[in-house]
Amino acid sequence: MTPNHNNNLIQTHELVKRFGEKTAVDQVTFQVSGGEVFGFLGPNGAGKTTTIKMIVGLLQPTSGSVSVAGFDLQEQPLQAKAVCGYLPDSPNLYPKLSALELLRFVGDLYEIDPQRVARRSQELLKLFELDDVADDPIDTYSHGMQQKTALASALIHDPRVLVMDEPTVGLDPRSARMIKDILRQLAERGAAVFLSTHILEIAERMCDRIGIIDEGRLIAVGTMQELRAIGKGETSLEDIFLNLTGGAEYAEIAEVLK
């Protein structure tokens, strides 16, 4: 699906977050449309996770605004959160619940009809190849299985907006490929998919547009073609990223050490 920019499902406007004297996010403005996979990149400590937590309503901005599917997060937090699925970088799952019990619990939180939850749970567990362990406690699952369980719980209510912080960390190649395919399918169905990742190859291959944040400020947003235009002749996302974030000197050191 071609992104419809009249259908902005995530909008931030001059978003600021300060912790004491430190400004973690500084005047960040961007939009993510339905039908779009948007990658959010930045060095460690650049403000990625802080921005994500404001988008999903876990942190209050110091100033500026966030809207999700047209709902202002400060004025209509319940409506905004109801249309959003969230996968944090380190999901905290209830270890003694089974995947099936967790999905029922999350479905109850979203006040979804139990029959619909049961049907959707079976679909998601099969999709993520968890149906054989659906009744086993989550603390018996591998990291990859827990990651897929967390994503299934983020999708149980069929969200219009999906926000993920490092969704493929620790996954084997097959599971990572499966999650990438699922995210693309969600976008094709009209959802806005927002993901933060350190794996630049994933961002380059699957994202329609990419935002780069450094020291709390959004320093570039665009398609790969648009980023190449401002990347001083660089063609790969890795080279563009290092150039824009001041990491080029590290690349030169690595080259010398070869």
- 40-72 pLDDT, tens digit per residue, is 999 888 999 999 999 999 999 999 999 999 999
User: In the predicted model, what is the mean pLDDT of the chain?
Assistant: 89
pTM metric for this prediction? 0.87
Percent of the chain with pLDDT over 70: 92
Q: Does the structure show a pLDDT above 90 at 10?
A: yes
Tell me 74's DSSP state: T
| pLDDT at site 6 | 54
Residues 6 or more apart whose Cβ sits within 8 Å of residue 122? 131
What is the arithmetic mean of pLDDT over 114-122? 94
What is the arithmetic mean of pLDDT over 222-228? 90
The candidate with the shortest Cα–Cα distance to 255, out of 238, 230, 233, 231, is 238
Domains with residue ranges and CATH for the chain = 4-83+160-257 (3.40.50.300), 93-158 (no CATH)
Percent of the chain with pLDDT over 90: 66
> Amino acid identity, residue 60?
Q
Residues across the chain:
258
The candidate with the shortest Cα–Cα distance to 86, out of 194, 183, 172, 239, is 194
Distance CA 60, CA 51 (A): 10
Confidence of residue 209 (pLDDT cuts 50, 70, 90): very high
Phi, psi of 147 (to 5 degrees): -65, -40
Distance CA 107, CA 116 (A): 9
Tokens of 204: 């380059």
Hey, is 131 helix, strand or coil? helix
Distance CA 178, CA 218 (A): 30
Torsion of the alpha carbons at 150, 152, 156 and 162, rounded to the nearest 10: 80
